[in-house]
Amino acid sequence: MRVLILGGYGTFGGRLAELLVDEPALTLIITGRSEARAREFCRRLTGRVRCLGAVLDRNGDLDTAFSALRPDLVVDATGPFQTYGDEPYRVVKACLAHRIDYMDLADGARFVAGIGQFDDEARAHGIFVLSGVSTCPVLTAAAVRDLAQGLARLDAVDAGISPSPYADVGPNVVQAIAAYAGRPITLRRNGTEMTAYALIESMRFTIAPPGCVPLKNTRFSLVEVSDIELLPALWPELRSVWFGAGPTPEILHRALSGFAWLVRLGVLRSLTPLAPLFHRAAKFVRWGEHRGGMFVRVRGRTADGVEVCRSWHLIAEGDDGPFIPSMAASAIIRRILAGRRPESGARPATHELELADYQPMFVTRRIRTGRREETAPSERHSPD
């Protein structure tokens, strides 16, 4: 099976390749704008997988490239998907034209939600087109399903990710955040569609899997991810959905929120021109524990009307956390090799994996998870 990874030597594409090094039935085609970097990555990738390096720009001649490289599956791990311009789905369209299966690691809400427009064509061609094959929304949705078991009604979902201050999140991630910082985000709150502002509204949470030393209490700020749009579609009774990021150290986080206020007030048009500066600053403003985490919290009611609050916690030690966004794609590729191919059609990948599917990958890394049940909190999202 030939898997072409766009952005294959980048932050998440490279980690996807590392997760698949033990698969001798795979040929990984690592692509990017630099053929030298793609080939150097393959040279350093040790394992049983076959690896080929090639130059390929997602904005270039995809038809010629796909004809020459003959992939069975294309994984777009480039981004930022929020800034793909006037033709955001050109890779998808090229895959459809060549009858090639497609996945991406997109977190852009509009991009992931819009993938369904290709469903009829994908089904007609007998291929699958899966968007958002990453932490958001695959792992989030899986955690919500697990936490919602036994509840007659699901009322609210809060979730957040706090990367280690030493994790290299990559320039495209920073560019995506800069693109929507201070911009309005439509979300559901108390049963009504409302507008909030990215990186301005915040809440605090302590990620603490049972039996594990917790992370320090962390400030999370609202970010634009596909979960905010997709979770209400999966659970129509949901009255509130919120998702935040908790970068550390907090002084850097508060500086980003301050710049977001400048966009919100109209002083700056966008933080996009400052993205390279933020990325460089994040490499120097680093202290604290080399640990990251994620939480998902739900509120709901049982059949007899008892209000319940449950939360799922994850802590990743050292450099293991940045592998998590690539784990969903790795798991689906391994399933295909085992003869369990995703159903044809185009859709967000919210139902492709369950929480239990992640556990075999977590146990091979320093990743601990667990659940808690607590008194239902009131909503405390504030523009601080």
The ranges assigned to domains in the chain are 2-135+322-361, 138-321+365-374
Q: What is the pLDDT of residues 255-278, one digit of tens each?
A: 999 999 999 999 999 988 888 888
Residue pair 83/175 in contact (Cβ under 8 Å)? The answer is: yes
Decide if 144 contacts 235 (C-beta within 8 A).
Answer: yes
Asked if 66 contacts 46 with a C-beta cutoff of 8 angstroms, the reply is no
Would you state the pLDDT for residue 173?
77
Q: Which CATH superfamily is domain 2-135+322-361 in?
A: NAD(P)-binding Rossmann-like Domain (3.40.50.720)
pLDDT of residue 380: 64
The pair of structure tokens assigned to 244 is 């935040």
Distance in angstroms (rounded) separating the CA atoms of residues 83 and 254: 24
Per-residue pLDDT of the chain (384 residues), as tens digits, is 999 999 999 889 999 999 999 999 999 999 999 999 999 999 999 889 999 999 998 888 999 999 999 999 999 998 777 667 678 899 999 999 999 999 999 988 889 999 999 999 999 999 999 999 999 999 999 999 999 999 999 999 999 999 998 887 767 778 888 888 999 999 999 999 999 999 999 999 999 999 999 999 999 999 999 999 999 999 999 999 999 999 988 988 999 999 999 999 999 999 888 888 887 777 777 778 899 999 999 999 999 989 999 999 999 999 999 999 999 999 999 999 999 999 999 999 999 999 999 999 999 999 999 999 976 665 667 766
pLDDT of residue 300: 95
Taking each helix axis from N to C end, the angle separating 140-147 and 227-234, rounded to the nearest 10 degrees, works out to 40
- The top-level CATH class assigned to 138-321+365-374 is alpha beta
SS3 letters for the chain?
CEEEEECCCCHHHHHHHHHCCCCCCCEEEEEECCHHHHHHHHHHCCCCCEEEEEECCCCCCHHHHHHHHCCCEEEECCCCHHHCCCCCCHHHHHHHHCCCEEEECCCCHHHHHHHHHHHHHHHHHCCEEEECCCHHHHHHHHHHHHHCCCCCEEEEEEEEEECCCCCCCCHHHHHHHHHHCCCEEEEEECCEEEEEECCCCEEEECCCCCCCCCCCCEEEEECCCCHHHHHHHHCCCCCEEEEEECCCCHHHHHHHHHHHHHHHCCCCCCCHHHHHHHHHHHHHCCCCCCEEEEEEEEEEECCCCCEEEEEEEEEEEHHHHHHHHHHHHHHHHHHHHCCCCCCCEEEECCCCCCHHHHHHHHCCCCEEEEEEEECCCCCCCECC
Q: Is the pTM of this model over 0.75?
A: yes
Distances (CA, A) of 316 to 129, 139, 248, 263: 30, 15, 15, 33
